[in-house]
Structure 1
Amino acid sequence: MTDDAMKDGVVNDETVARSSIVNRRHLIMGGAFCLAAGLAYARTPQVVFPLVEKEDFEGLVPKTIGPWKFESSSGVVLPPPDALSDRLYDNLVTRVYSGSEEPPVMFLTAYSNTQDGVLQVHRPEICYPAGGYNLTPTRPIDIENGLGGKTPANIFTATGRDRTEHVLYWTRIGKEFPLTWSQQRLAVIRANLNGIIPDGVLVRASLIAPTVEEAMPHLTNFAAQLNRSMNERGRSLLSGING
């Protein structure tokens, strides 16, 4: 064999060896990228709560709640209209309930099956100022849920040009009941870290009374009667009560 042939043989062997190393390197890198992509997908938060049709959601809220009966769908302070609200409040029920021996209660509930950090339930502290109301500081309060448990809620007073409303509300994000915007955002983050895009609901009841002390017994009674009056699915969605 000539020297040139021997050199060519050595060069070819080296080329094949280098090519083999490169191919193995590409294979290992490709496998690593696929694994990383798979892990990233597996950790991507997923929507786990189904959409609720508008009529189905409306049907979850009883027209008779304890001594109160559905009277009208008008007269309730609504969220400010914007693009996000239009997307968020597909499931929105607004009602005024009245009772022969109870003051009228203005009720609003809004549900979304996705709370993704962009679309999040608007808290009433945004809705009322947008309608020209001045608010007292929001105070946290634990209220009886009517079934032996308690619900973390908030209360404040909204004073407008023609009326003063005392507002009781709670928000549920997944399994949590955040009392502030920061708690609400953290609830979404915690659910995301567990691979879930949580659902969310706002439940709000308000009435007109001279003082918040006079309003509170009626509002807390209404909240308890609401849970007693709903079916299992309604209690699960609005109050996080299962069973």
Structure 2
Amino acid sequence: MSGEGLARRELLCAGALTLIAGAGGLIALRPAPPRISAAQLEAAVPGSVGPYRTVRGTGLVTPPADETTEAMYDAVIGRFYADAAGDGVMLAVAYGHRQDYSLMLHSPEWCYPAQGFAIGPTTPLAVARGGAAPIPALFVTATRGDRVEHILYWTRIGTRYPQTQGDTRGLIVQQSLGRTIPDGVLARASLIGGDAAAARATLAGFAAALVASLGGAGRAVLLGPGA
């Protein structure tokens, strides 16, 4: 493409983004969902998940603390679960009552490299949800030195489950144009070491058991309104 063509395309893209940004100021948006405290989030996530029970532990990777992160999340919890054999799964849940174009949930592809991890390819993984449609989730492996962490996660924006940052931005724009400020959650289960295929199966089973064990408040947070 010629330099003139590229310049024209960049101008058109910039104009479109300006219109979207301007629309947010012109449209009377419905209020965002109410905030959820850390105590409410703790109560919404069960302490027992299938054969797993909460235990004490350390080493959970969380987003770096800064003003943007604090503005983005109302509540973040971290749990460690273990089964009778002592095999453990780490769970992190981050909730934000207001998602807009400048404040979006930090996926593992962002927060792990920020703490020195190398990230492998991300692949889709469906989490079973009883008789309902499965939850579109993602699986990725992060490595730092001799630590290898296998990760399953999903992101919810409103009632949808975006698979990429582009999807997330698109959903936020769509819902803003529909006069709605969506809430959002990032649910992440992970385990250390082992074969990637085996870890993927273990995490998928854990996530399905987590979903099955949720009460009404937990479903509303992790799965969305009306789930």
Same fold (TM over 0.5): yes
The alpha-carbon distance between structure 1 residues 102 and 177, as it changes in their structure 2 partners (threshold 3 A), is farther
The one-letter code of the counterpart of 1:174 is G
1:67 maps to 2:51: yes
Equivalent residue number for residue 120 of structure 2: 136
Letter in 1 for 2:35: L
Q: 1 or 2 for the larger relative contact order (CA 8 Å, sep ≥6)?
A: 2
Q: Say yes or no: does 1:79 pair with 2:63.
A: yes
| Structure 1 residue 131, shift from structure 2 partner | 1.6
The equivalences for 1:5-84 within 5 A come to 43-72=27-56, 74-84=58-68
Counterpart secondary structure, 1:76: coil
TM-score by length of 2: 0.84
Q: CA deviation at 1:54?
A: 2.0
1:212 equivalent among 188, 196, 199: 196
- Residue 157 of structure 1 is matched in structure 2 by 141
Out of 227, 232, 237, the position equivalent to 2:211 is 227
Contact 2:73 2:97 in 1 (8 A): no
Distance 1:41 1:211, change over 3 A: closer
**Local SS of the residue matching 2:58:** coil
Name the structure 2 match of 1:99.
83
Higher helix share: 1
**Over residues 149-205 of structure 1, what are the superposed CA-to-partner deviations in whole Å (9 max), with x where a residue is unaligned?**
300111111111231011000000011111110100001001001100100000000
- 1:185 paired with 2:169, answer yes
Q: How far, CA to CA, are the matches of 1:158 and 1:93 in structure 2?
A: 20
Following the alignment from structure 2 to structure 1, what is the Cα–Cα distance between the partners of residues 57 and 72? 19
The offset of 1:73, in angstroms, is 5.6
**TM-score (normalizing by structure 1):** 0.79
Percent identical residues: 37
Contact 2:72 2:105 in 1 (8 A): yes
Cα distance in 2, alignment partners of residues 195 and 221 from structure 1: 37
Partner SS state of residue 61, structure 2: coil
Question: Over aligned residue pairs, what C-alpha RMSD do you find?
Answer: 2.0
Unpaired stretches in structure 1, ≥5 consecutive residues: 1-39
Runs of 4+ in 1 over 4 A off after TM superposition: none
Q: Residue 159 of structure 2 contacts residue 225 of structure 2 at CA under 8 Å; is this kept in 1? A: no
3-state SS of the aligned residue for 2:104? coil
Structure 2 residue aligned with 1:240: 224
CA deviations over 1:74-105 (Å, ceiling 9, x no partner): 32111122211122223101111111136210
Mapped pair 1:167 → 2:151: yes
Range with greater deviation from structure 2 (69-78 or 106-115): 69-78
SS state at 1:225 partner = helix
